[in-house]
């Protein structure tokens, strides 16, 4: 959810179809085929596979490559470019030289024109890409000769190179289509190690090795992402041998701890859960209510009981071990303090214990996406903590189709988090100019001091100035919270232990489909 939204899939019928559609690893008749293929269970599928609409923009797409990529430690490395960019003009010009001999999966060569087309289309206001603001610094992109691409920036943007992991699409295919509605969204052509072989919406996506891949042959010749929204069903199918691996919540991952032939992988992440508190709502729009909820919530209890310790309390959008985290913003669980805030603001307890002010009850609805047990548990715990302060939170589950139109006025148990640079996650989460822009700034938060800090952090090249800006921002979020930050979540994966080369990265909110131990599946080797 956010500009990085990956929607929950499907109903029970789709799950049943998925059981029949995905062959069980243990039942394959051809041992060679079984050894060369992998079936993974994930909770959701993308809306689109087009980078022009945001797919794969943070890297790790198996269909596409960017100019740069990230290694296991998230360090930037060359991909379609031969080297990291040459930077000139005080950080306003970035020049990339393209790798020779790269072909798209249809056999056509990669050219600088494809790079120019990709970036210009993403930046075109007519393209429905809500991540456009992430490339705000780009003034122009042009080809130079037959192997170079030059970006000119409006202002020096310190983390720009990390934005060039954006996947490159072929102009000769996508250029003839409407980027918003064209068939490229479901029939992509890229330069990556795999090609999409089949997509049955709500069931599975199957990928096969790209014969034209510039990076060499993969031992994993095919893999399938089975879309299984229900956590328990994923665990059951993994245990039965119908899946080779799955993303699982902590309580279910723990049940595989001592199972022979299975291995659990834990990934630290920037992924956090938070409650959006829309400023347009008569209750959540009151700063005293927001501050009281911030004090009332028991974050450590959520980590201990909901996440089984696989996470940390969230006091803001950045985890406590991030270099830009501002020490000292931690808030204790303080029910008495929450009640004091409400008393001073004129919210008086009613006969039923729920507070009211000027005839308005301190009550609001909190939505969470259906089928997400971890969010459900967070929402229920949050409502319980709020009630002790005299605030009634009515928890409801719904599909994203139901939730989206209500985000402006109703609270949502949300998930966010980006890796790479503070600007990457904070700007879209908080800047007032993005309020209501898709899943950007879902709370419609509007704080001039925060906007100023975000702009300063984005435009400054000086590390100290940037650090100071993000320090101010985090302190302002304590004084004027637009979200109740709850927990940062570790991601857990369980896989059959028959491959070598599996690792995890520090992961963003989006995980399971692209992130996970399969982020480098093209490099896996069969166990000897």
Extract the tokens encoding 103.
Answer: 């072909």
Per-residue pLDDT at 23: 41
Extract the tokens encoding 523.
Answer: 């490099």
What's the rounded Cα separation, in Å, for the pair 160 and 37? Answer: 36
Q: Is residue 275 a contact partner of residue 442, using CB atoms and an 8 Å limit?
A: no
Q: Is residue 235 a contact partner of residue 495, using CB atoms and an 8 Å limit?
A: no
Q: Which class is domain 272-489?
A: alpha beta
In our burial notation (b when 16+ CB lie closer than 10 A, e otherwise), range 403-440 reads bbeebbbbbbbbbbbbbbbbbbbbbbbbbeebbebbbb
Q: Is residue 416 a contact partner of residue 317, using CB atoms and an 8 Å limit?
A: yes
Extract the tokens encoding 386.
Answer: 């709020």
What's the rounded Cα separation, in Å, for the pair 157 and 135? Answer: 10
Report how far apart the first and last C-alpha atoms of the chain are (Å, whole number): 40
Residue keyed to tokens 């022009």: 52
- Taking only the tens of pLDDT, the chain with its 528 residues reads 333 333 333 333 333 333 333 444 444 444 555 568 999 999 989 999 999 999 999 888 999 999 999 999 999 999 999 999 999 999 999 999 999 999 999 999 999 999 999 999 999 999 999 888 899 999 999 999 999 999 999 999 989 999 999 999 999 999 999 999 999 999 999 999 999 999 999 999 999 999 999 999 999 999 999 999 888 999 999 999 999 999 999 889 999 998 999 999 999 999 999 999 999 999 999 999 999 999 999 999 999 999 999 999 999 999 999 999 999 999 999 999 999 999 999 999 999 999 999 999 999 999 999 888 899 999 999 999 999 999 999 999 999 999 999 999 999 999 999 998 999 989 999 999 999 888 999 999 999 999 999 999 999 889 999 999 999 999 999 999 999 999 999 999 999 999 999 999 999 898 888 889 999 999 999 998
> Domain locations in the chain?
1-46+192-269+491-528, 50-185, 272-489
Extract the tokens encoding 152.
Answer: 């000119």
- Tell me phi and psi for residue 412, to 5 degrees: -135, 140
User: What is the DSSP code (8-state) at residue 303?
Assistant: I
Q: Give the pTM.
A: 0.86
CA 282 to chain centre: 30
What's the rounded Cα separation, in Å, for the pair 477 and 482? Answer: 7
Provide the 3-class DSSP secondary structure of residue 382: helix
Per-residue pLDDT at 9: 34
Q: CB-based burial of residue 204 (10 Å sphere; 0-12 exposed, 13-18 middle, 19+ buried)?
A: buried
Extract the tokens encoding 451.
Answer: 């906007």
Among 3.30.70.890, 3.90.550.10, 3.90.76.10, 3.40.50.1220, name the CATH number for the domain at 50-185.
Answer: 3.90.76.10
Q: Is residue 430 a contact partner of residue 454, using CB atoms and an 8 Å limit?
A: yes
Q: Is residue 136 a contact partner of residue 424, using CB atoms and an 8 Å limit?
A: no
User: What is the DSSP code (8-state) at residue 414?
Assistant: E
Using alpha carbons only, give the angle 163, 221, 517 rounded to the nearest 5 degrees: 50
Q: Which CA distances in Å does 384 have to 20, 390, 395?
A: 41, 10, 10
Classify strands 411-416 and 363-369 as parallel, antiparallel or unpaired.
Answer: parallel
Q: Which CA distances in Å does 484 have to 17, 47, 273, 290, 449?
A: 38, 28, 9, 7, 19
What's the rounded Cα separation, in Å, for the pair 451 and 445? Answer: 10
Residues listed for the chain: 528
Of 74, 79, 48, nearest to 164 (Cα)? 79
What's the rounded Cα separation, in Å, for the pair 472 and 465? Answer: 11
Extract the tokens encoding 35.
Answer: 């050894």
Instruction: Give me the sign of the Cα torsion angle 398, 404, 409, 415.
Output: positive
CATH architecture of structural domain 1-46+192-269+491-528:
3-Layer(aba) Sandwich (3.40)
Of 367, 456, 354, 374, nearest to 411 (Cα)? 367
């Amino acid at each position: 959810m956010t500009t990085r939204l990956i929607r929950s899939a499907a109903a029970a019928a789709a799950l049943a179809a998925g059981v029949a559609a995905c062959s069980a690893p243990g039942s394959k008749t051809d041992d060679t085929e079984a050894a060369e293929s992998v079936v993974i269970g994930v909770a959701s599928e993308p809306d689109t596979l087009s980078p022009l609409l945001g797919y794969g923009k943070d890297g790790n797409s198996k269909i596409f490559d960017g100019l740069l990529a990230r290694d296991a430690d998230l360090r930037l490395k060359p991909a379609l470019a031969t080297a990291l960019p040459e930077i000139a003009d005080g950080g306003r010009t970035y020049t990339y030289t393209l790798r020779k001999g790269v072909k798209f999966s249809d056999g056509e060569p990669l050219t600088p024109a494809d790079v120019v087309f990709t970036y210009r289309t993403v930046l075109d206001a007519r393209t429905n890409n809500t991540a456009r603001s992430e490339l705000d610094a780009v003034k122009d992109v042009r080809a130079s000769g037959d192997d170079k691409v030059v970006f000119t920036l409006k202002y020096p943007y310190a983390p720009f190179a990390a934005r060039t992991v954006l996947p490159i699409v072929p102009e000769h295919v996508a250029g003839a289509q409407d980027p918003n509605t064209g068939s490229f969204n479901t029939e992509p052509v890229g330069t990556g190690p795999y090609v999409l072989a089949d997509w049955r919406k709500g069931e599975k996506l199957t990928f096969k090795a790209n014969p034209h891949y510039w990076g060499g042959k993969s031992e994993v010749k095919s893999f399938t992402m089975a879309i299984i929204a229900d956590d328990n069903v994923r665990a059951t199918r993994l245990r039965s041998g119908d899946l080779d691996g799955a993303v699982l919540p902590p309580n279910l991952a723990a049940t595989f701890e001592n199972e022979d032939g299975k291995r659990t992988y834990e990934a630290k992440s920037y992924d956090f859960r938070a409650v959006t508190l829309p400023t347009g709502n008569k209750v959540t729009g009151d700063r005293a209510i927001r501050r009281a909820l911030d004090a009332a919530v028991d974050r450590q209890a959520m980590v201990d009981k909901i996440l089984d310790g696989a996470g940390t309390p969230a006091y803001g959008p950045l985890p406590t071990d991030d270099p830009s985290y501002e020490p000292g913003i931690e808030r204790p669980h303080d029910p008495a303090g929450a009640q004091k805030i409400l008393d001073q603001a004129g919210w008086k307890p009613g006969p039923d214990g729920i507070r009211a002010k000027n005839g308005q009850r301190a009550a609001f609805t909190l939505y969470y996406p259906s089928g997400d047990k971890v969010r459900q548990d967070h929402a229920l715990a949050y409502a319980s903590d709020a009630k002790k302060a005299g605030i009634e939170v009515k928890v409801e589950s719904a599909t994203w189709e139901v939730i989206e139109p209500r985000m402006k006025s109703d609270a949502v148990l949300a998930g966010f988090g980006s890796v790479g640079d503070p600007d990457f996650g904070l700007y879209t989460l908080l800047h007032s100019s993005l309020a209501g822009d898709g899943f950007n700034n879902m709370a419609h938060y509007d704080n001039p001091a925060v906007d100023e800090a975000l702009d300063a952090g984005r435009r400054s090249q000086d590390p100290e100035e940037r650090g100071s800006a993000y320090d101010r921002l985090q302190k302002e979020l304590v004084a004027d919270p637009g979200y109740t930050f709850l927990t940062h979540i570790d991601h857990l994966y369980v896989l059959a232990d028959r491959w070598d080369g599996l690792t995890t990265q520090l992961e963003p909110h989006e995980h399971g489909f692209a992130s996970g131990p399969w982020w480098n599946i093209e490099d896996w080797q069969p166990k000897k």
